[in-house]
Copies of this chain bind each other. A is one copy, B any other.
Amino acid sequence: MRKPIIAILGATGAVGIQMLEVMEERNFEIEDLKLLAHISDAGKEYVFKGKKYIVEEAVESSFENVDITMVAVEGDISKKFMPHIIASGSVAIDNSSAFRLNDDVPLVIPEINPDDIELHKGIIANPNCSTIIGLVAVNEIYKHAGIKRMVVSTYQAVSGAGVLGIDELKRQTEDVLSDRETTSRVFQHEIAFNIIPHIDSFEENGYTKEEMKMYNEGRKILHDNNIEISCTCARVPVFRSHSESITLETEKPISVEEVRGLLSKAQGVRLVDDPKNNLYPMPIDTAGQDLIYVGRIRKDFSKNNSINLWCCGDQVRKGAATNAVQIAELLVKTL
Protein backbone atom coordinates (compact mmCIF):
# COMPACT_ATOMS: atom_id res chain seq x y z
CA MET A 1 0.00 0.00 0.00
CA ARG A 2 1.49 3.27 -1.14
CA LYS A 3 0.12 6.79 -1.18
CA PRO A 4 -1.73 7.41 -4.45
CA ILE A 5 -1.72 10.28 -6.88
CA ILE A 6 -5.34 11.35 -7.08
CA ALA A 7 -7.17 13.36 -9.72
CA ILE A 8 -10.64 14.81 -9.29
CA LEU A 9 -12.34 15.34 -12.63
CA GLY A 10 -15.08 17.90 -12.08
CA ALA A 11 -13.32 19.33 -9.03
CA THR A 12 -15.35 22.56 -9.02
CA GLY A 13 -18.82 20.98 -8.97
CA ALA A 14 -20.88 20.24 -5.86
CA VAL A 15 -19.74 16.60 -5.69
CA GLY A 16 -16.11 17.35 -6.62
CA ILE A 17 -15.76 19.97 -3.90
CA GLN A 18 -17.44 17.61 -1.42
CA MET A 19 -15.01 14.81 -2.37
CA LEU A 20 -12.07 17.02 -1.46
CA GLU A 21 -13.63 17.96 1.88
CA VAL A 22 -14.46 14.35 2.70
CA MET A 23 -10.92 13.22 1.80
CA GLU A 24 -9.50 15.80 4.18
CA GLU A 25 -11.96 14.89 6.96
CA ARG A 26 -11.11 11.20 6.60
CA ASN A 27 -7.39 12.01 6.47
CA PHE A 28 -7.04 10.34 3.09
CA GLU A 29 -3.31 10.11 2.42
CA ILE A 30 -2.10 11.22 -1.01
CA GLU A 31 1.18 11.53 -2.83
CA ASP A 32 -0.20 14.28 -5.07
CA LEU A 33 -3.50 15.79 -6.16
CA LYS A 34 -4.72 17.10 -9.52
CA LEU A 35 -7.89 19.17 -9.67
CA LEU A 36 -9.40 19.02 -13.15
CA ALA A 37 -12.36 20.89 -14.58
CA HIS A 38 -13.68 22.68 -17.63
CA ILE A 39 -11.34 25.39 -18.89
CA SER A 40 -13.75 28.05 -17.59
CA ASP A 41 -12.87 26.99 -14.03
CA ALA A 42 -9.13 26.61 -14.60
CA GLY A 43 -7.09 28.76 -12.23
CA LYS A 44 -9.50 28.42 -9.27
CA GLU A 45 -7.73 27.49 -6.05
CA TYR A 46 -8.64 24.96 -3.36
CA VAL A 47 -6.80 24.07 -0.18
CA PHE A 48 -6.31 20.43 0.81
CA LYS A 49 -4.63 19.65 4.11
CA GLY A 50 -3.14 23.12 4.25
CA LYS A 51 -1.70 23.05 0.75
CA LYS A 52 -3.02 25.09 -2.16
CA TYR A 53 -3.95 23.35 -5.43
CA ILE A 54 -4.86 25.14 -8.66
CA VAL A 55 -7.56 23.78 -10.94
CA GLU A 56 -6.28 22.77 -14.38
CA GLU A 57 -8.23 22.32 -17.58
CA ALA A 58 -9.09 18.64 -18.04
CA VAL A 59 -7.47 17.38 -21.23
CA GLU A 60 -6.73 13.93 -22.66
CA SER A 61 -3.26 13.82 -21.16
CA SER A 62 -4.34 14.97 -17.68
CA PHE A 63 -4.40 11.44 -16.26
CA GLU A 64 -0.79 10.42 -16.85
CA ASN A 65 0.76 9.06 -13.63
CA VAL A 66 -2.56 9.40 -11.82
CA ASP A 67 -3.38 6.30 -9.73
CA ILE A 68 -7.06 7.01 -9.06
CA THR A 69 -9.32 9.43 -10.89
CA MET A 70 -12.44 10.48 -9.00
CA VAL A 71 -14.95 11.29 -11.75
CA ALA A 72 -17.51 13.87 -10.61
CA VAL A 73 -18.92 15.00 -13.95
CA GLU A 74 -22.05 14.13 -15.95
CA GLY A 75 -22.23 10.93 -17.99
CA ASP A 76 -21.37 12.47 -21.37
CA ILE A 77 -18.18 14.09 -20.04
CA SER A 78 -17.29 10.91 -18.21
CA LYS A 79 -17.65 8.92 -21.44
CA LYS A 80 -15.49 11.41 -23.29
CA PHE A 81 -12.57 11.21 -20.85
CA MET A 82 -12.83 7.55 -19.78
CA PRO A 83 -10.73 6.08 -22.65
CA HIS A 84 -7.90 8.46 -21.73
CA ILE A 85 -8.20 7.74 -18.01
CA ILE A 86 -7.98 3.99 -18.67
CA ALA A 87 -5.21 4.35 -21.29
CA SER A 88 -3.05 6.15 -18.75
CA GLY A 89 -3.48 3.27 -16.30
CA SER A 90 -5.50 5.27 -13.79
CA VAL A 91 -8.45 3.58 -12.12
CA ALA A 92 -11.65 5.62 -12.39
CA ILE A 93 -14.20 5.87 -9.60
CA ASP A 94 -17.08 7.23 -11.62
CA ASN A 95 -19.99 9.03 -10.00
CA SER A 96 -21.90 9.35 -13.29
CA SER A 97 -24.47 6.84 -14.49
CA ALA A 98 -22.55 6.19 -17.76
CA PHE A 99 -20.97 2.83 -16.89
CA ARG A 100 -22.94 1.65 -13.86
CA LEU A 101 -24.73 -1.20 -15.58
CA ASN A 102 -21.79 -2.42 -17.69
CA ASP A 103 -20.97 -6.06 -16.92
CA ASP A 104 -17.28 -5.43 -16.35
CA VAL A 105 -17.83 -2.40 -14.09
CA PRO A 106 -18.35 -3.11 -10.38
CA LEU A 107 -21.05 -0.94 -8.80
CA VAL A 108 -20.14 -0.60 -5.15
CA ILE A 109 -21.57 0.49 -1.83
CA PRO A 110 -18.72 -0.32 0.60
CA GLU A 111 -21.14 -1.30 3.40
CA ILE A 112 -22.77 -3.86 1.08
CA ASN A 113 -20.51 -5.27 -1.63
CA PRO A 114 -16.91 -4.12 -0.98
CA ASP A 115 -15.42 -7.27 -2.51
CA ASP A 116 -16.79 -6.36 -5.95
CA ILE A 117 -14.06 -3.71 -6.16
CA GLU A 118 -11.53 -6.44 -6.92
CA LEU A 119 -13.32 -7.28 -10.19
CA HIS A 120 -12.70 -3.88 -11.76
CA LYS A 121 -11.12 -3.49 -15.19
CA GLY A 122 -10.29 0.18 -14.85
CA ILE A 123 -13.67 1.58 -13.80
CA ILE A 124 -15.56 1.28 -10.53
CA ALA A 125 -18.96 2.94 -10.55
CA ASN A 126 -20.53 4.87 -7.69
CA PRO A 127 -24.30 4.19 -7.51
CA ASN A 128 -27.09 6.73 -7.78
CA CYS A 129 -27.67 8.75 -4.61
CA SER A 130 -31.20 7.45 -3.88
CA THR A 131 -30.04 3.89 -4.47
CA ILE A 132 -27.19 4.27 -1.97
CA ILE A 133 -29.45 5.82 0.68
CA GLY A 134 -32.24 3.25 0.28
CA LEU A 135 -29.97 0.20 0.12
CA VAL A 136 -27.80 1.17 3.10
CA ALA A 137 -31.07 1.59 5.06
CA VAL A 138 -32.41 -1.88 4.20
CA ASN A 139 -29.19 -3.87 3.83
CA GLU A 140 -29.25 -5.58 7.25
CA ILE A 141 -32.92 -6.49 6.77
CA TYR A 142 -32.03 -7.92 3.37
CA LYS A 143 -29.19 -9.99 4.85
CA HIS A 144 -31.30 -11.41 7.68
CA ALA A 145 -34.77 -11.85 6.24
CA GLY A 146 -34.39 -11.44 2.49
CA ILE A 147 -36.37 -8.87 0.50
CA LYS A 148 -38.89 -9.89 -2.12
CA ARG A 149 -40.15 -6.45 -3.04
CA MET A 150 -39.52 -2.80 -2.22
CA VAL A 151 -41.96 0.02 -2.96
CA VAL A 152 -40.15 3.34 -2.64
CA SER A 153 -41.32 6.97 -2.84
CA THR A 154 -38.56 9.55 -2.67
CA TYR A 155 -38.43 13.16 -1.45
CA GLN A 156 -35.26 14.41 -3.16
CA ALA A 157 -33.41 17.61 -2.34
CA VAL A 158 -32.40 20.15 -4.97
CA SER A 159 -28.67 19.66 -4.39
CA GLY A 160 -29.09 16.44 -6.37
CA ALA A 161 -29.01 18.88 -9.29
CA GLY A 162 -25.77 20.47 -8.06
CA VAL A 163 -24.95 24.03 -7.09
CA LEU A 164 -27.33 25.39 -9.74
CA GLY A 165 -30.22 23.47 -8.17
CA ILE A 166 -29.50 25.05 -4.80
CA ASP A 167 -29.30 28.52 -6.35
CA GLU A 168 -32.59 27.99 -8.18
CA LEU A 169 -34.49 26.99 -5.04
CA LYS A 170 -33.07 29.94 -3.12
CA ARG A 171 -33.78 32.48 -5.85
CA GLN A 172 -37.28 31.18 -6.59
CA THR A 173 -38.17 31.10 -2.91
CA GLU A 174 -37.14 34.75 -2.54
CA ASP A 175 -39.12 35.61 -5.68
CA VAL A 176 -42.29 33.90 -4.43
CA LEU A 177 -42.06 35.53 -1.00
CA SER A 178 -41.64 38.93 -2.69
CA ASP A 179 -44.46 38.32 -5.22
CA ARG A 180 -42.04 38.43 -8.12
CA GLU A 181 -42.31 36.33 -11.28
CA THR A 182 -40.08 33.26 -11.19
CA THR A 183 -38.17 31.50 -13.94
CA SER A 184 -37.04 27.87 -13.99
CA ARG A 185 -33.77 26.89 -15.64
CA VAL A 186 -32.52 23.84 -13.74
CA PHE A 187 -35.84 22.15 -12.98
CA GLN A 188 -38.72 21.55 -15.37
CA HIS A 189 -41.06 23.66 -13.24
CA GLU A 190 -40.96 26.01 -10.28
CA ILE A 191 -39.54 24.08 -7.30
CA ALA A 192 -40.15 26.73 -4.60
CA PHE A 193 -43.08 25.57 -2.42
CA ASN A 194 -43.85 22.86 -4.99
CA ILE A 195 -43.24 19.15 -5.60
CA ILE A 196 -42.10 17.93 -9.03
CA PRO A 197 -42.63 14.18 -9.61
CA HIS A 198 -39.98 14.10 -12.33
CA ILE A 199 -36.21 13.55 -11.96
CA ASP A 200 -34.05 12.77 -15.01
CA SER A 201 -35.76 11.93 -18.32
CA PHE A 202 -38.72 9.65 -18.98
CA GLU A 203 -38.37 6.17 -20.45
CA GLU A 204 -40.88 4.39 -22.68
CA ASN A 205 -42.34 2.44 -19.73
CA GLY A 206 -43.48 5.66 -18.02
CA TYR A 207 -40.75 5.57 -15.37
CA THR A 208 -38.02 8.16 -15.17
CA LYS A 209 -34.41 7.06 -15.51
CA GLU A 210 -33.98 8.03 -11.85
CA GLU A 211 -36.75 5.60 -10.86
CA MET A 212 -35.26 2.79 -12.95
CA LYS A 213 -31.84 3.30 -11.32
CA MET A 214 -33.14 2.07 -7.96
CA TYR A 215 -34.35 -1.10 -9.70
CA ASN A 216 -31.39 -1.79 -12.00
CA GLU A 217 -28.64 -0.68 -9.65
CA GLY A 218 -30.28 -2.28 -6.62
CA ARG A 219 -30.34 -5.69 -8.32
CA LYS A 220 -26.73 -5.36 -9.46
CA ILE A 221 -25.36 -4.26 -6.07
CA LEU A 222 -27.23 -7.02 -4.20
CA HIS A 223 -26.40 -9.63 -6.90
CA ASP A 224 -30.08 -10.52 -6.82
CA ASN A 225 -32.22 -10.61 -9.94
CA ASN A 226 -35.26 -11.74 -8.00
CA ILE A 227 -35.70 -8.64 -5.85
CA GLU A 228 -38.55 -6.49 -7.16
CA ILE A 229 -38.32 -2.72 -6.78
CA SER A 230 -40.86 -0.11 -7.75
CA CYS A 231 -39.88 3.50 -7.29
CA THR A 232 -41.47 6.94 -7.62
CA CYS A 233 -39.07 9.88 -7.46
CA ALA A 234 -40.11 13.40 -6.59
CA ARG A 235 -38.13 16.60 -6.20
CA VAL A 236 -38.95 18.60 -3.06
CA PRO A 237 -38.02 22.14 -1.95
CA VAL A 238 -35.28 20.98 0.42
CA PHE A 239 -31.67 22.13 -0.01
CA ARG A 240 -29.91 19.00 1.07
CA SER A 241 -30.59 15.37 2.05
CA HIS A 242 -32.97 12.97 0.35
CA SER A 243 -35.78 11.20 2.21
CA GLU A 244 -37.38 7.90 1.22
CA SER A 245 -40.60 6.20 2.30
CA ILE A 246 -39.98 2.46 1.87
CA THR A 247 -42.36 -0.49 2.12
CA LEU A 248 -40.51 -3.81 2.23
CA GLU A 249 -41.84 -7.30 1.76
CA THR A 250 -39.39 -9.74 3.32
CA GLU A 251 -38.82 -13.40 2.43
CA LYS A 252 -38.93 -14.46 6.08
CA PRO A 253 -40.93 -12.97 8.94
CA ILE A 254 -39.06 -10.33 10.91
CA SER A 255 -40.39 -8.27 13.80
CA VAL A 256 -40.10 -4.53 14.22
CA GLU A 257 -37.94 -5.16 17.30
CA GLU A 258 -35.60 -7.39 15.30
CA VAL A 259 -35.32 -4.72 12.59
CA ARG A 260 -34.52 -2.09 15.22
CA GLY A 261 -31.92 -4.40 16.74
CA LEU A 262 -30.26 -4.98 13.38
CA LEU A 263 -30.28 -1.32 12.39
CA SER A 264 -28.92 -0.16 15.73
CA LYS A 265 -25.70 -2.03 14.86
CA ALA A 266 -25.73 -1.63 11.07
CA GLN A 267 -22.71 -0.15 9.32
CA GLY A 268 -23.39 3.33 7.94
CA VAL A 269 -26.76 3.59 9.67
CA ARG A 270 -28.08 5.56 12.61
CA LEU A 271 -31.33 4.32 14.09
CA VAL A 272 -33.52 7.35 14.88
CA ASP A 273 -36.83 5.81 15.83
CA ASP A 274 -38.38 7.29 18.93
CA PRO A 275 -41.76 8.67 17.81
CA LYS A 276 -42.91 9.31 21.38
CA ASN A 277 -40.19 11.95 21.59
CA ASN A 278 -40.81 13.17 18.03
CA LEU A 279 -37.58 11.62 16.82
CA TYR A 280 -37.39 10.29 13.27
CA PRO A 281 -35.09 10.97 10.32
CA MET A 282 -35.39 14.40 8.70
CA PRO A 283 -33.36 16.17 6.00
CA ILE A 284 -32.24 19.04 8.24
CA ASP A 285 -30.73 16.59 10.73
CA THR A 286 -28.94 14.44 8.17
CA ALA A 287 -27.34 17.15 6.03
CA GLY A 288 -23.57 17.50 6.38
CA GLN A 289 -22.80 13.99 7.69
CA ASP A 290 -22.44 10.48 6.33
CA LEU A 291 -24.87 8.20 8.15
CA ILE A 292 -28.22 7.12 6.75
CA TYR A 293 -30.83 7.76 9.44
CA VAL A 294 -33.63 5.18 9.61
CA GLY A 295 -36.84 5.38 11.60
CA ARG A 296 -40.65 5.18 11.51
CA ILE A 297 -40.14 1.40 11.51
CA ARG A 298 -43.49 -0.36 11.81
CA LYS A 299 -45.29 -3.44 10.70
CA ASP A 300 -47.18 -2.89 7.46
CA PHE A 301 -50.44 -4.58 8.39
CA SER A 302 -51.65 -4.49 4.78
CA LYS A 303 -49.46 -7.49 3.89
CA ASN A 304 -47.76 -10.41 5.61
CA ASN A 305 -44.02 -10.02 6.22
CA SER A 306 -44.14 -6.35 5.33
CA ILE A 307 -42.36 -3.47 7.04
CA ASN A 308 -42.61 0.28 6.54
CA LEU A 309 -39.70 2.58 7.26
CA TRP A 310 -38.47 6.09 6.54
CA CYS A 311 -34.84 7.04 5.85
CA CYS A 312 -32.84 10.19 5.13
CA GLY A 313 -29.29 10.74 4.00
CA ASP A 314 -27.07 13.49 2.61
CA GLN A 315 -27.00 12.69 -1.08
CA VAL A 316 -23.98 14.89 -1.83
CA ARG A 317 -21.97 13.12 0.88
CA LYS A 318 -22.90 9.43 1.38
CA GLY A 319 -25.05 9.52 -1.75
CA ALA A 320 -22.08 10.59 -3.87
CA ALA A 321 -18.76 11.98 -2.56
CA THR A 322 -18.28 9.93 0.61
CA ASN A 323 -19.24 6.66 -1.06
CA ALA A 324 -16.65 7.37 -3.79
CA VAL A 325 -13.96 8.22 -1.22
CA GLN A 326 -14.77 5.01 0.69
CA ILE A 327 -14.26 3.09 -2.56
CA ALA A 328 -10.95 4.91 -3.07
CA GLU A 329 -9.85 3.94 0.44
CA LEU A 330 -10.48 0.28 -0.35
CA LEU A 331 -8.79 0.60 -3.72
CA VAL A 332 -5.65 2.14 -2.20
CA LYS A 333 -5.11 -1.07 -0.22
CA THR A 334 -4.69 -2.94 -3.49
CA LEU A 335 -2.09 -0.55 -4.95
Q: CB within 8 Å of B: which residues of A?
A: 149-151, 153, 155, 169-170, 173-174, 177, 188-190, 193-198, 202, 205-207, 215, 228-230, 232, 234, 236-239, 243, 245, 247, 256, 275-276, 278, 280-284, 295-303, 306, 308, 310, 312
In the complex, which residues of chain B have a beta carbon less than 8 angstroms from the beta carbon of A284? 189-190, 193-194
**Residue from the list B170, B234, B282, B300 in contact with A194, Cβ < 8 A:** B282
Q: Which residue of B lies closest to A240 (CB)?
A: B193
In the complex, which residues of chain B have a beta carbon less than 8 angstroms from the beta carbon of A243? 195, 197, 234
In the complex, which residues of chain B have a beta carbon less than 8 angstroms from the beta carbon of A195? 155, 236, 238, 243, 282-283, 312
Question: Do A206 and B298 have beta carbons less than 8 Å apart?
Answer: yes
Q: Known: A195-B238, A206-B299, A282-B189. Is A245-B230 also a contact (CB below 8 A)?
A: no
In the complex, which residues of chain B have a beta carbon less than 8 angstroms from the beta carbon of A149? 302-303
The answer for the CA separation of A198 and B207 in the assembled complex, in Å, is 28
Question: Do A296 and B206 have beta carbons less than 8 Å apart?
Answer: yes
Q: Known: A230-B308, A296-B232. Is A245-B189 also a contact (CB below 8 A)?
A: no
Question: Do A245 and B232 have beta carbons less than 8 Å apart?
Answer: yes
Question: Do B206 and A297 have beta carbons less than 8 Å apart?
Answer: yes
In the complex, which residues of chain B have a beta carbon less than 8 angstroms from the beta carbon of A232? 153, 245, 247, 296, 308, 310
Question: Do A275 and B202 have beta carbons less than 8 Å apart?
Answer: yes
The answer for the CA separation of A188 and B277 in the assembled complex, in Å, is 10
Q: Which residue of B lies closest to A244 (CB)?
A: B153
